[in-house]
Copies of this chain bind each other. A is one copy, B any other.
Amino acid sequence: MEKADVVVLGGLSGITAGISCRRHYPDKRVIIVRKEGTVLIPCGIPYIFGTVGGPENNVVPDGLLESNGIELIKDEALSVDRSTKTITLKNHEPIGYEKLVFATGSLPIVPPIPGVDKSNVYPVKKDFVYLEAVLDKVKDAHDIVIIGGGFIGMEFADECRKNHKVNVTVVEMMDRCLMMAMDDEYCDEAQKKMTDVGVKILTGERVAALEGGDAVEAVRLASGKVLKADVVILGIGAQPNSSLAEKAGLELGFRKGIKVDHHMRTISDPDIFACGDCCTKESFFDGRPSGVMLASVATSEARIVGANLFSPYMYFCGVISVFATIIDGRAFGVAGMTERAAKENGLSIVVGKAEAADTHPGGMPDSTLLKVKLLFSAQSGILLGGAVSGGKSTGELVNVLSACILHKMSADDIVAFQMGTHPALTSSPIAYPIVNAACKAVLSIRKR
């Protein structure tokens, strides 16, 4: 029987774990097993429908595996026998492993709405051939309804309207789109950008049924409204793809994620690790279970898995949740807690806000107004979260915040932050909004 030191089951975080393993343990034989012919860049999937033009322009090159000395078996893993340390495959002989990594990702949630199984109703699967077919349908569509106004739903809406003459409507159950991710004022700003470019947004609306014949023709809402639809995209969220692990007797935890410890080792088997959307996560802030699924978390976990396989020493500190999105050219990002989440958790917080042009002087070309909001613990002054909206620098600005949060910087630390500035690249040193937001917060912290 073929045997590898390490077998990795899965896609993006699997590749990252494999590369990390080969760096740390260059003598080990690593095999990745995956069903998919091609791995898509997950965050790029909405952009297939507009900016990048097709799934072929959004793939993780397999050359990465070759250049890192990783073998690839394109096949479906059917079962894992932990007593013999063997994996049964659909079209290949079984293979043995010394260490096994689950990186099986997530599957889109398909809500039990009547009519959800009609054709032209698409959950967002990370599958090349599938998405090619969805794109074909989108190109000919007249009326697209997107169910779910989270950031995947909003990105799909923004992209679908770009290259296609089509009516796009987003239906969101909550009062605002993006409410799970951002605070009200940022949700409102994002929503306005979206409606300004002609996307219709219906909030506080539940879907009652998908109607039509074999193919969907309309979306009926609980409020009685009926929306014409020849394509429906389901952007409701995703759940851990953990059925194979469960079958192998590994314990599952929150939302059926594979239960892992801080070394990313499954709690059930010392020779089996997991990373990415398929496994359980805890919040950086309080250690409670976190349902956040982000590529940033998945790749961080994957790098830790690779390092820990034969001698666990790296520690995953818990999910901060850092992300950015873009709507009609305006970027929105959050690192750590939102104000809403902090309040729901009963935390006592102090908020500081500041705005400035993202160049200095503001008259430099492509200058955009940056808005920053920071949240600090009222007791300790430690940074708990931050939000940014602005131009292209927003993506890295939330990463500045991520570094500050990870290292428990206080408002005073951020007031004294030494930020590089340049007229064309950043806000001015006087007005740098991360620092100024901290300056405003620091006094409220001190006065308590």
Q: Name A residues whose Cβ lies closer than 8 Å to a Cβ of B.
A: 12, 15-16, 20, 23-24, 41, 43-44, 47, 51-52, 57-60, 64, 294-300, 303-304, 307, 314-317, 319-326, 331, 333, 335, 360-361, 363-365, 392-400, 402-404, 406-407, 409, 412-413, 415-426, 428-430, 432, 435, 439-440, 442-443
Contact = CB atoms under 8 A, between A and B. Distances in A.
B15 A424 contact: no
Nearest to A363: B57
B316 A364 contact: no
B393 A395 contact: yes
B57 A422 contact: no
Contacts of A300: 416-418
Contact of A430 (B299, B319, B326, B395): B299
A417 B430 contact: no
Nearest to A40: B361
22 contacts: A16-B429, A41-B360, A43-B429, A44-B361, A44-B423, A47-B424, A51-B364, A60-B428, A60-B430, A296-B419, A296-B420, A298-B429, A303-B416, A304-B415, A314-B416, A324-B421, A324-B425, A333-B422, A392-B393, A393-B396, A395-B396, A398-B420
Given A296-B419, A314-B412, A395-B421, 11 more contacts: A47-B361, A51-B424, A52-B364, A58-B361, A295-B428, A296-B418, A296-B421, A297-B418, A325-B422, A406-B409, A407-B407
Contact of A395 (B422, B440, B442): B422
From A307, A333, A423, name the one whose CB has the most chain B CB atoms within 10 angstroms.
A423
